[in-house]
Chains A and B, each alone.
Chain A
Amino acid sequence: MVDDFRTLLALVLVFVPLSLLSIGGGASLLADMEHQSVSVHGWTTPREFADLFAISRAAPGPGTMLSTLIGWKAAGWAGAITATVALYLPSSLLVFCVARLWGRWRGSVWHSAVERGLAPVAGGLMLSGGIAVLRVSPGGPAVWVAAVIATVLLLRWPRLHPLVLFAASGALFGLVGLW
């Protein structure tokens, strides 16, 4: 009982600082999570960490749900919930407060210029994210080809539900893998 509580406390003490210090999103979080859960606390072996990472990539939701799995490995369901809240609550509160303050200037020239000025940067970050995932994808040239086909299909038919495409692509790769 006391040990369980200690583990939960340790999860909070690991994930709250990560939440507030990890600027740059997924990639910078990952390295720190690996260090803390493998080397410092021994919640997972290196092999288990790699497996959990692969699982988190296959599941829906934000890419950083790996934190949930580390919590689960360390302390079951209570750990999963603790790690999730500890990772996402502090950063969400911070961004909420900033957005709220920022909203008070809505209607001013500066507010409008900053929002319009950030837009093209955000578009560039979106495309860069696609390139980054493509670069680390283990699937090889088949993934590149399928990614280009998916891009073209979605631009050509904007009403196509992305899930249809995800299911078709997964099924196709699975069939080729069987064969």
Chain B
Amino acid sequence: MSEEAPLGGLTAETDAVSHERHQIGLTPIFAAFFWLGVTSFGGNTAAWLYNRIVQRRRWVNDSEFLSDMALGRLMPGSGGVNLTAQVGQRLRGGAGAAAAVGALLSGPLVIVVALAAAYTRIGQSAVAHAIMDGIAAAGIGFTFATGLKLLPSEPARVGPLAVTLATVLCVGILRWPMLPVVLCLAPVSIGLALARPRIGR
């Protein structure tokens, strides 16, 4: 039990969450993230993590995933690895984070070096480049499909949807720098969340 006692008044909920989470052992965490690492083609670790860990295994929910993803992008380093560290932390504290990040990176480390060693033979081939284009195209589609699935969906959620569209417009289409855009939109969005009553979970 690496979790320390939470601050006063929050004991019941935090205990319930950590109790439920601690049933996931380090071995399943390592196995899941190792498999995630070696199969996450296309460069979008977050979309793969959503598919494998959130949708398939249901270890964390949509809103936990999204807030971890946002924080992971705001902090220095790789967004996908930051997200993995946070999800691992949610699952099993420090050991969970270490297992998840180590597992995520160890497979690709070996694969990418093996590919580089083989590159002199296959690298010049036009077919290899065409195959890589095809994989990249599927990766882009995977990213879009994941982003669209995560759109705020309930009715009367015009505010969150507007925030999502504003983010896409500023960062995706106008190509403004991500950090200032997020630092402007996030407070607005948090204010909206404070103002509206909490709908379910």
Using CB atoms and an 8 Å cutoff, list the residues of chain A in contact with chain B.
Answer: 19-26, 29, 51-52, 54-65, 68-69, 72-73, 77, 80-81, 84, 87-88, 90-92, 94-96, 98-100, 102-110, 112-134, 137-139, 142-144, 146-155, 158, 162-163, 165-166, 168-174, 176-178
Q: Count of chain B residues with Cβ under 8 Å from any Cβ of A?
A: 113
A-B contact pairs, 6 of them (CB 8 A): A94-B75, A94-B77, A117-B189, A122-B70, A127-B164, A150-B138
Which of A21, A61, A103, A118 is in CB contact (< 8 Å) with B190?
A118
Identify which of B51, B62, B85, B182 contacts A96 (C-beta below 8 A). Answer: B85
B31 at the interface (CB under 8 A from A): no
What distance in Å separates the Cβ of A3 from its nearest Cβ neighbour in chain B? Answer: 21
Q: Which of A65, A119, A137 contacts B67 (CB 8 A)?
A: A119
Q: Does B29 contact A (CB under 8 A)?
A: no
The answer on a CB contact under 8 Å between A24 and B142 is: no
Contact A62 B81 (CB under 8 A): yes
A137 to B135 CA separation, bound complex (whole angstroms): 11
The 3 closest A-B pairs by CB, nearest first: A150-B141, A124-B167, A91-B77
A interface footprint on B69-95 (CB within 8 Å = 1, 0 otherwise): 111111111111110011001100110
Contact A118–B71 (Cβ < 8 Å): yes
Are A170 and B134 touching (Cβ within 8 A)?
A: yes
Which residues from B are CB-within-8-Å of A107?
Answer: 6, 9-10, 13-14
Residue pair A176, B130 in contact (C-beta under 8 Å): yes
**Distance A165 CA – B134 CA, assembled complex (angstroms):** 10
Say yes or no for B126: interface residue by CB 8 A criterion.
yes
Q: Which residues of B from 119 to 151 have beta carbons under 8 Å from A?
A: 119, 123, 126-127, 129-151
B112: CB under 8 A from chain A? yes
Q: Which residues of B contact A (CB under 8 A)?
A: 6-7, 9-10, 13-14, 17, 37-48, 51, 55, 62-64, 66-82, 85-86, 89-90, 93-94, 97, 101, 104-105, 107-109, 111-113, 115-116, 119, 123, 126-127, 129-152, 160-161, 163-168, 171-173, 175, 177-179, 182, 185-187, 189-194, 198
Are A133 and B164 in contact, CB atoms less than 8 angstroms apart?
A: no
A137 touches B167 (CB 8 A): no
With A55-B115, A60-B37, A124-B164 known as contacts, the answer to whether A173 contacts B81 (CB < 8 A) is no
Q: Are B182 and A146 in contact (CB under 8 A)?
A: no
Q: How far is the CA of A40 from the CA of B168 in the complex (A)?
A: 36
Determine if B148 and A88 form an interchain contact, defined as CB atoms under 8 angstroms apart. Answer: no
The residue of chain A having its C-beta at the shortest distance from the C-beta of B157 within the complex is A120
A20 close to B76 (CB less than 8 A): yes
Residues of B within 8 A of A59 (CB): 108, 111-112, 115
Are A95's CB and B75's CB within 8 A?
yes
